[in-house]
Amino acid sequence: MSEKEKVPVSRREFLWYAWASSLALFMAGSGGATLAFAYPRFKEGEFGGKFYMGRVEDFEDGSVTPNRDGKFFLVRIGDEFRALYQVCTHLGCLVRETD
Protein backbone atom coordinates (compact mmCIF):
# COMPACT_ATOMS: atom_id res chain seq x y z
CA MET A 1 0.00 0.00 0.00
CA SER A 2 1.49 3.36 -0.97
CA GLU A 3 1.34 6.54 1.10
CA LYS A 4 -1.09 8.21 -1.30
CA GLU A 5 -3.78 5.61 -0.78
CA LYS A 6 -6.18 6.62 1.97
CA VAL A 7 -7.81 4.07 4.18
CA PRO A 8 -11.57 4.71 4.31
CA VAL A 9 -13.13 5.43 7.68
CA SER A 10 -14.89 2.39 9.06
CA ARG A 11 -18.47 2.54 10.25
CA ARG A 12 -17.33 2.10 13.84
CA GLU A 13 -14.91 5.05 13.58
CA PHE A 14 -17.53 7.22 11.91
CA LEU A 15 -20.07 6.52 14.66
CA TRP A 16 -17.45 7.19 17.34
CA TYR A 17 -16.54 10.56 15.77
CA ALA A 18 -20.22 11.46 15.40
CA TRP A 19 -20.91 10.53 19.04
CA ALA A 20 -17.86 12.41 20.34
CA SER A 21 -18.63 15.55 18.33
CA SER A 22 -22.29 15.56 19.40
CA LEU A 23 -21.22 15.12 23.04
CA ALA A 24 -18.75 18.01 22.68
CA LEU A 25 -21.47 20.24 21.17
CA PHE A 26 -23.88 19.28 23.94
CA MET A 27 -21.30 20.05 26.64
CA ALA A 28 -20.41 23.40 25.03
CA GLY A 29 -24.08 24.36 24.82
CA SER A 30 -24.75 23.32 28.41
CA GLY A 31 -21.72 25.23 29.64
CA GLY A 32 -22.73 28.33 27.71
CA ALA A 33 -26.28 28.18 29.04
CA THR A 34 -25.00 27.73 32.60
CA LEU A 35 -22.70 30.74 32.30
CA ALA A 36 -25.45 32.87 30.75
CA PHE A 37 -27.81 31.91 33.58
CA ALA A 38 -25.23 32.57 36.31
CA TYR A 39 -24.21 36.01 35.00
CA PRO A 40 -26.52 38.72 36.39
CA ARG A 41 -28.15 41.00 33.82
CA PHE A 42 -29.18 43.79 36.18
CA LYS A 43 -28.59 47.34 35.03
CA GLU A 44 -27.98 50.34 37.24
CA GLY A 45 -31.21 52.20 37.98
CA GLU A 46 -33.49 49.28 37.09
CA PHE A 47 -35.25 46.75 39.29
CA GLY A 48 -32.63 44.47 40.83
CA GLY A 49 -29.76 46.82 40.03
CA LYS A 50 -27.88 49.47 41.99
CA PHE A 51 -29.51 52.79 42.86
CA TYR A 52 -28.05 56.08 43.97
CA MET A 53 -30.47 57.45 46.54
CA GLY A 54 -28.37 60.29 47.95
CA ARG A 55 -25.97 60.95 50.78
CA VAL A 56 -26.48 59.45 54.22
CA GLU A 57 -26.96 62.93 55.71
CA ASP A 58 -29.95 63.54 53.39
CA PHE A 59 -32.07 60.94 55.21
CA GLU A 60 -33.52 61.70 58.62
CA ASP A 61 -33.91 59.05 61.29
CA GLY A 62 -37.21 57.22 60.73
CA SER A 63 -37.59 58.45 57.15
CA VAL A 64 -39.23 56.31 54.47
CA THR A 65 -38.19 57.07 50.89
CA PRO A 66 -40.07 55.27 48.07
CA ASN A 67 -38.34 54.30 44.84
CA ARG A 68 -40.73 53.37 42.02
CA ASP A 69 -38.11 52.13 39.56
CA GLY A 70 -36.58 49.78 42.10
CA LYS A 71 -39.92 48.83 43.68
CA PHE A 72 -38.65 49.36 47.21
CA PHE A 73 -38.81 51.71 50.18
CA LEU A 74 -35.55 52.90 51.72
CA VAL A 75 -36.04 53.13 55.49
CA ARG A 76 -33.54 54.69 57.88
CA ILE A 77 -33.65 53.38 61.44
CA GLY A 78 -30.90 54.96 63.52
CA ASP A 79 -27.61 54.30 61.75
CA GLU A 80 -29.04 51.46 59.65
CA PHE A 81 -30.71 51.51 56.25
CA ARG A 82 -33.14 48.87 55.06
CA ALA A 83 -34.64 48.38 51.63
CA LEU A 84 -38.16 46.97 51.85
CA TYR A 85 -39.74 45.38 48.77
CA GLN A 86 -42.98 47.12 47.71
CA VAL A 87 -44.70 43.94 46.52
CA CYS A 88 -46.56 41.84 49.08
CA THR A 89 -45.13 38.31 49.25
CA HIS A 90 -48.55 36.89 50.15
CA LEU A 91 -50.74 38.08 47.27
CA GLY A 92 -48.37 40.08 45.08
CA CYS A 93 -50.19 43.37 45.57
CA LEU A 94 -48.31 46.67 45.84
CA VAL A 95 -47.77 48.14 49.29
CA ARG A 96 -48.35 51.90 49.41
CA GLU A 97 -46.67 54.43 51.65
CA THR A 98 -49.03 55.95 54.21
CA ASP A 99 -48.42 58.60 56.84
| 0.75 exceeded by pTM | no
Domain co-membership, 19 together with 46: no
pLDDT at residue 28, rounded to an integer: 98
Structural domain boundaries enclosing 35: 1-39
Domain co-membership, 91 together with 46: yes
The tally of CA atoms less than 13 A away on the side-chain side of residue 38 is: 6
Rounded Cα gap, residues 54 and 88, in angstroms: 26
Domain co-membership, 69 together with 30: no
Strand order through the sheet with 72-77: 64-67, 72-77, 80-85
Q: Is the pLDDT of residue 16 over 60?
A: yes
Domain co-membership, 75 together with 96: yes
Q: What are phi and psi of 57, to 5 degrees?
A: -65, -20
Tallying the residues shown for the chain, one arrives at 99
Domain co-membership, 97 together with 49: yes
pLDDT at residue 58, rounded to an integer: 87
Q: Is the pLDDT of residue 8 over 80?
A: yes
Query: Are the C-beta atoms of residues 75 and 81 closer than 8 Å to each other?
Result: yes
Residues 33-86 pLDDT 10s: 999 999 877 777 777 788 888 898 889 998 988 888 888 899 999 999 999 888
Domain co-membership, 50 together with 33: no
Q: How many domains does one find in the chain?
A: 2
pLDDT at residue 13, rounded to an integer: 94
